[in-house]
Amino acid sequence: MADEVRFGRLREAMQRERLDALVCRLPEHVLMLTGYWPLCAWVYAVFPLEGRGVCILPDTEEQEARAELFGTECQTYPFGTKDSPGQEESVLRLLKSAAGGWKRVGWEAGSETSAPAWNAAELQIPSERSRRLLEQAFGLRRLVDASAFLRAEQVVKTPPEIEGVRNANRIATLGIEEFFRRAAPGASGVELVAAVEAAVMAQGTGREGARRVRAFAQVAVGEESARGWRPVQVTTTRRLARGQIALLELAVVADGFWCDRTRARAAGEATPEQREIHALVRKAQAAAIAVVRPGVEAAAVDEAARKVIREGGRDRQFMHITGHGLGYRYHEYAPMIAPGSRDVLQVGMIHSVEPGIYDPAFGGIRIEDDVLVTEGGAEVLAPISSELSG
């Protein structure tokens, strides 16, 4: 994805931090530094303060890389064939050839988590082995931990990055619509997950130019939805009974950019209590979104949602934070929409707004949308119905 703004921002920040180059292999950082979302995690991005960057990758993904790389040279090494030389040896040779006599090279020493590459089955995190490889390429005294630097640079998105997250949200609506259609008496959690993920991938790939799309859905059913406040729901074969709640947690990634959405749906007609709770959650979300604007503390957005639920007498059933940053990953570190957060909203930030109420008596109800901070307030990305029943 062509992004002159991102490259300009990075180089200005690198000058302030006295970094001569960045060398990264986490997929989200490779995407930010080159415009390419790797097929697998064996890719290295070399981004110098001056001059053209280099993307070092297996020759097996050269075709995809050349279609996506921006302002970056593509260099490949043989990968996985019976007569290929040692992979580490090949990478070291290419890293050395990319070196420019730098004094300070930033890398991901302190990164413990990352969004995956397209092949989400194998996530690789830089380790002691990575450090030794970079030491051989650039010298022991030149390596600097740039993990915090990279995280900070991701917080405010550029116009192309915003469009990438917006497109992921548009594609996610395909899964939400499928969830609405299928959340009926007799449907199981695993069947709903399979249908949602299939709709996103089959209908979303190619939509708005998206080349690679993947969905990660979780659906809690009935009493299980009351535990939907946890970071991870466990989808089971339990089937919906009439009047029970199905709670969908949906992450979608399109060409490396992520969104995070949630909807609740009653199987058949919702009960009066469920409708009352749903209306309270929707009111809380609207109150929080109304507060979003540049210069506002993230804690104030959280409090706006929490105040509505507190006044509705359900504050003890709203256990989690109101939102988090996202875009380069499913969950980013900032802005954190939470009590006591010191983050201050800026134009270009993207975060979720996701109040919820959970009780075994009626289930769990959460409404989650992603919003962009603009000069005029909040833009909800790809809005879609949040009705509890059809």
Same domain, 148 and 169: no
Strands 72-77 and 53-58 come out as: parallel
Question: How far is 112 from 148, CA to CA, in rounded Å?
Answer: 11
Q: Is residue 237 part of a domain?
A: yes
DSSP code, position 223: G
DSSP secondary structure, 307-321, as one string: HHHHHTT-GGG--S-
Question: How far is 25 from 46, CA to CA, in rounded Å?
Answer: 9
pLDDT in tens, 260-306: 999 999 999 999 999 999 999 999 999 999 999 999 999 999 999 99
Q: Is residue 388 part of a domain?
A: no
CB burial readout 350-381, b (16+ within 10 A) else e: bbbbbbbbbeeebbbbbbbbbbbbeeeebbeb
Give mean pLDDT, residues 171-175. Answer: 98
Mean pLDDT of all residues in the chain? 95
Same domain, 262 and 355: yes
Same domain, 365 and 252: yes
pLDDT for 349 equals: 98
Residue 52 maps to which CATH number?
Answer: 3.40.350.10
**Total domains in the fold of the chain:** 2
The alpha carbon of 328 is separated from its chain's Cα centroid by a whole number of angstroms, namely 5
Question: How far is 106 from 273, CA to CA, in rounded Å?
Answer: 54
Q: Is residue 387 part of a domain?
A: no
Radius of gyration of the chain (CA): 22
- Cα–Cα nearest to 282, from 220, 229, 355, 219: 355
pLDDT for 1 equals: 52
**What are 360's two structure tokens?**
């075994």
The alpha carbon of 196 is separated from its chain's Cα centroid by a whole number of angstroms, namely 18
Burial grade of 8 (CB within 10 A; 0-12, 13-18, 19 or more): exposed
Same domain, 259 and 374: yes
Q: Is residue 132 part of a domain?
A: yes
Q: Of 129, 154, 179, which closes a domain?
A: 154
| Whether 170 contacts 205, CB under 8 Å | no
Q: Of 154, 173, 199, which closes a domain?
A: 154
Same domain, 232 and 175: yes
pLDDT for 2 equals: 63
Give mean pLDDT, residues 168-180. Answer: 98
Residues 6+ apart with CB under 8 A from 133: 88, 91, 92, 95
Exposure of 381 in the CB half-sphere (CA atoms within 13 A)? 30
- The model's pTM is 0.96
Q: Is residue 386 part of a domain?
A: no
Same domain, 179 and 303: yes
Same domain, 120 and 189: no
Range of the domain at 361: 159-380
Same domain, 115 and 172: no
Same domain, 8 and 69: yes
Helix (H) or strand (E) holding 45: strand 44-48
Same domain, 150 and 175: no
Weakest-pLDDT range from 58-72, 85-99, 166-180, 308-322 = 85-99
Same domain, 164 and 226: yes
Cα-based torsion angle of the residue sequence 290, 295, 297, 302 in order, rounded to the nearest 10 degrees: 10
pLDDT in tens, 65-87: 999 999 999 999 998 777 777 78
Number of other residues whose CB lies within 10 A of the CB of residue 242: 11
pLDDT for 382 equals: 98
Q: Of 114, 130, 154, which closes a domain?
A: 154
Q: Is residue 271 part of a domain?
A: yes
CA distances from 103 to 21, 52, 193, 254 (A): 9, 18, 50, 36
Same domain, 140 and 123: yes
Q: Is residue 25 part of a domain?
A: yes
Query: What are 57's strand-pairing partners?
Result: 76
pLDDT in tens, 3-21: 899 999 999 999 999 999 9
- Under the banding of pLDDT at 50, 70 and 90, the label for residue 41 is confident
Residues 6+ apart with CB under 8 A from 47: 10, 21, 22, 23, 24, 33, 34, 53
Residue 295 maps to which CATH number?
Answer: 3.90.230.10
pLDDT in tens, 101-160: 899 999 999 998 899 999 999 888 888 899 999 999 998 788 999 999 999 999 999 999
Q: Is residue 49 part of a domain?
A: yes
